[in-house]
Amino acid sequence: MAPLRFSANVSWLFPELPSLPARLRAAGSSGFEAAEVGWPYGEPPEALARTAQEVGLQLVLINTPPGDREKGEMGLGAVPGRQAAFRDGLEQAVLYAKALGCPRIHLMAGRVPQGADRAAVRGEMETVFLENLRHAAGVLAQENLVGLLEPINTRITDPRYFLDTPQQAAAILEKVGRPNLQLQMDIFHWQIMDGNLTGNIREFLPFVGHVQVAQVPGRGEPGSPGELNFPYLFQLLEDEGYKGFVG
């Protein structure tokens, strides 16, 4: 039973530091051996790679670009009419992942279009997502990279996000059927949407390629006040044989 390996999510940690290189240095100084960053695209990949190397950090996860933030986009994978932009963003993410030596890319699903009824567009959005995921799996396989699907809660964080439960994500992964596409388990989102963490972790962990954690409801670090018992959850992940990183 191997001990858990932790990575610093520098999109959330060290917010007092303005730049990603500074946050990477802080993560290394704090004893982390791995780091992840949501969107590294404001910095040249070579600069980030150099900083990570200098402080002994392995980069383990980035996201695909969000799209047009000013128009409210938060990922493009399932958004009808944005297939070309998703594929362009995927190419950019692959370039960064290769430069950073980062093996995993979170393929962001995106939001239900403004004003649309979720139930009415669900079928169309899933069809778009499946098409984009099959394309992404092929692109990523050529570079020996893994794509991840992360459900994001629609109760608090993002009411319009398309992919919001582990059950929905697992069903989509099964339909795509590509071994280099896996589940990204953010315990914060899973607790808010479904609870039943012990059962869900045991059921879905065989398909999980990356884990993220934050306290509920405040989204603080695991030691902050909240409803999750992290010593128990971390022990459960170890007991179930999880070998990946915990962000």
Distance CA 186, CA 214 (A): 8
Number of domains in the chain: 1
Distance CA 34, CA 36 (A): 7
Distance CA 243, CA 4 (A): 7
Secondary structure of 195-227 in HEC code, one letter for each residue: CCHHHHHHHHHHHEEEEECCCCCCCCCCCCCCC
106 lies in a domain? Answer: yes
pLDDT at 84 over 80: yes
Distance CA 147, CA 139 (A): 10
Model confidence, pTM? 0.97
pLDDT in tens, 130-181: 999 999 999 999 999 999 999 999 999 999 999 999 999 999 999 999 999 9
Range of the domain at 151: 8-240
pLDDT of residue 2: 78
- Which CATH number fits the domain that encloses residue 228? 3.20.20.150
1 lies in a domain? Answer: no
Pairing state of beta strands 58-63 and 208-212? unpaired
Contact partners, residue 118, CB within 8 Å, separation at least 6: 112, 160
